[in-house]
Amino acid sequence: MALSSQSIIAGLTELLGPSAVIGEVARMGAFLIEPRKRFHQTATAIVLPQTVAQVQAIVRFAAEHRLRLIPQGGNTGLVGGQVPRFGDEIIVSTINLNRVRSVDAAAGHMTVESGVILQEAHAAAEAAGAIFPLWLASQGSARIGGVLSSNAGGVNVLAYGNARDLTMGVEAVLADGRLYQGLNSLKKDNTGYDLKDLLVGAEGTLGIITAATLKIFPQPEDYETAIVSLSNLDAALNLFEFLRARARRRLSAFEIVPALGLEMQLRHGMLARDPTPGPSPWYALIEVSRLTKGASGTLKTAIEAAFSVGLLDNAVFAESIADRALMWAFREQMSEVQSKEGASIKHDVSVPIDDVPQLIAEGVAAAERLVPGIRAVPFGHLGDGNIHFNFSQPLGADAKAFMEASDEVVHEAIYEIVLRLGGSISAEHGIGQLKTALLKQVKDPVALEMMRAIKQALDPLGILNPGKLLD
């Protein structure tokens, strides 16, 4: 017989103690409200384990009583993977699983628990003279378990790769409560399937990650940062290729922002001053890291060379830490500024890098045809072929009416172009509950069958994050 909510809360309280269980809906807000405010379900309870053994106890209890669990980290996910879909789930928050277990800068790795905030992981690496080079605008809230489970990317993928590339090993509680002890720091281990890579990017559907061993790198001596102005995206692409050929792996960021992004941020007083070289249709924020101060081949030299062959219109270089911070704020405030401009339709897509200009040209034309007055604000990681292809509502439009009339039709138009160009409907943010139906339509059927077989093998009762990723 199914347990009542009261019995579930009582059972969990017995396992964890009263301070680690939230059963009143009035106290659940911070765990239920996600950044895009698209999903509005409640939960049976929120549990806040402090130890791996407590996570195991929760999962065993859930398996015994067929209860649905949702792992949650910083609750910054953008596709609703970390919040309930059905309303009766139990959210397993990792916020109290927050210890840095070890940092070994010489060996190039650190081991942290899944509830460590990304920014705290940065600080732990820096205290040891190293960097953990995964930077996201949400790093003050996102936690390692969530970052790994969504295989987050961010602004440094060019040089260091995404979360999967930066993970050496994981420890996770499986759907029957067993502990997978996969924390290792081996560079080479060819002993079968890569189970770590299954858990990274699984969006909490195969296990609850409790800790991870992450790669860390020597701290660069300094960074060179610039914003350049460009008349079009073909020019941006040419400049990217020119700089990559010179800086190679030291080119750590190449991010594009359209003129409208600057206009919006200035209008809302979000920038102390204009960080760009002056009016232009497009800007690129470019960063190069240097391991040795004064090494030859600086960004300035490369940009001057690019300028002399007509690859860019103008450039401004950060001369201080404050300049660099302002340039990065300009890039990182792009999501936030859109929320100040009313409703927006968002796509996190990728295409082969060479096709980014075509994607944006065709996508903007299609959306403007479908919704007169819609304002295209595509921005992001040009160097990874990953664009946050967003559209703000027409000026003065009613937000609700705009979303009701336009959300689906604009999605359809953009995804059609993305798929035609051989791209992905989710480059960074994952599938969650937002894109499960879409995934079913566009993913290779054999790949979907393999994914379902893995889910069935590891979670036969379907208790881990049901209704997410796979329907």
Ligand X SMILES: Cc1cc2nc3c(=O)[nH]c(=O)nc-3n(C[C@H](O)[C@H](O)[C@H](O)COP(=O)(O)OP(=O)(O)OC[C@H]3O[C@@H](n4cnc5c(N)ncnc54)[C@H](O)[C@@H]3O)c2cc1C
**In the complex, which residues of this chain contact ligand X (CB under 6 A)?**
35, 70-78, 81-82, 94, 114, 136-138, 142-143, 145-147, 149-150, 152-154, 203-204, 208-209, 335, 428-429, 432, 465, 468
Residue 306 vs 427, nearer CB to ligand X: 427
**CB 191, min distance to ligand X, A:** 24
Residue 71 vs 261, nearer CB to ligand X: 71
Residue 78 vs 251, nearer CB to ligand X: 78
**CB 428, min distance to ligand X, A:** 3
**CB 262, min distance to ligand X, A:** 18
Residue 143 vs 347, nearer CB to ligand X: 143
Residue 46 vs 316, nearer CB to ligand X: 46
**CB 334, min distance to ligand X, A:** 9
Residue 378 vs 397, nearer CB to ligand X: 378
Residue 335 vs 390, nearer CB to ligand X: 335
**CB 361, min distance to ligand X, A:** 24
Residue 73 vs 303, nearer CB to ligand X: 73
**CB 125, min distance to ligand X, A:** 17
Residue with CB nearest ligand X? 146
293, two tokens: 């101060």
**CB 72, min distance to ligand X, A:** 4
**CB 465, min distance to ligand X, A:** 5
